[in-house]
Amino acid sequence: MEKGTPKIVIAFDGFSSSGKSTMARALAKRLGYRYIDSGAMYRAVTLYALEHGMIGADGTVDAEALTKTLPEINIDFAVQPDGSQHTVLNGKDVESEIRNIEVSSHVSAVAALPAIRHDLVTKQQAFGKSKGIIMDGRDIGTTVFPDAELKIFVNAPAATRALRRYEELKAKGQQVSYDEILANVEQRDHLDSTRAESPLRRADDAIDLDNSDMTIAQQDAWLDKVVAERLKAL
C-alpha cells in the first residue's frame, strides 16, 4: 500500500464456514492491517464455560454464572512467527481447542447471551480504535463497527460451507463426519440468524460476495479491487 494512504476499518460478516476468516486474514496481511477473528472470542468464552461446568449435558448454559465470571476471562491474540494469530485464553494457547466440534456445538448458545455479547463487543470496539483493522464475524458491520468504511457480506450454500469445514478439520487430523458438520452448520445458521440479540444480518451498506464458485485467488483479486476503489473514494 502507498505511504500516506489512510487506514480504514473493514468488516466481514457472513454465515459460518463461508471462508470469510481465510480471506479476511489474507487481506489484512496484504494491507499490513491487524486481523481479529471475533468468532474466536465467542469460542474462547464457550471453551471456558465448558471447562468450568457451566454448560449442562442438555446444552443449557448457566448464563448467570458465566456472566459473573466474565472479568476472569481474558482473551488475547498472539502473533506467531509465521504471521498467523493464535487465540489465547487466560495465558493459554487454545487456537486448536476452540475449533473442536464440542465448542462448535455450544458456541451459538453462548453467543446468544446479551451480557456476553456486550462484553465482547466492547473489547472488539477497543481493537478498532486505531483503525487499520479487519474484523470478521456476524454483527461487525451492524453492531461492532456500524461506521466501518468497508463492509463485505460473504455467503455460500450450507452444503458448500459444510464441505469446506469438513475438509479443513480432516486435514487437521480430527475425526469428523460430513453429516455431523452439515447439521452443525445448519443449526448455527438458524441460531445465529434468529437470536434476539444482534442476529446475523447483512448491513444495508454491505457489498455482497457469493464465493461458491470462486477460487481463493479470484476472491483475493475481487477484494483487492473493492478495497482499492473504496480507498480511492475516501
Residue 214 grid cell? 470462486
| Full strand arrangement of the beta sheet holding 75-79 | 75-79, 85-89, 92-93
Nearer to ligand DC, 16 or 211 (CB): 16
Whichever of 111 and 227 has its CB closer to ligand DC, that residue is 111
| Rounded least distance, CB 224 to ligand DC, Å | 23
Whether the CB-CB separation of 59 and 117 falls below 8 Å is answered with no
**Positions 34 through 53 that interact with ligand DC (CB under 6 A):** 38-39, 42-43
User: Binding to ligand DC by residue 16, rule CB under 6 A?
Assistant: yes
Interaction between residue 111 and ligand DC (CB under 6 A):
yes
Binds ligand DC by CB under 6 A, chosen from 188, 209, 211, 223: 188
User: Which of 25, 34, 106, 138 contacts ligand DC by CB under 6 A?
Assistant: 138
85/108 with CB nearer ligand DC: 108
Helix%, strand%, coil% for the chain, nearest 5: 50, 15, 35
Which part of the chain contacts ligand DC (CB under 6 A), choosing from 22-30, 54-62, 106-114, 170-178?
Answer: 106-114
- At residue 40's C-alpha, the angle toward residues 150 and 130, to 5°, is 45
Q: Are 36 and 135 in contact (CB under 8 A)?
A: yes
Q: Which residue's CB is nearer to ligand DC, number 43 or number 151? A: 43
Measure the CA–CA gap between 128 and 23, rounded to whole angstroms.
19
How many whole angstroms separate alpha carbon 52 and alpha carbon 61? 11
What is the binding site for ligand DC (CB under 6 A)?
A: 16, 38-39, 42-43, 107-108, 111, 137-140, 188, 192
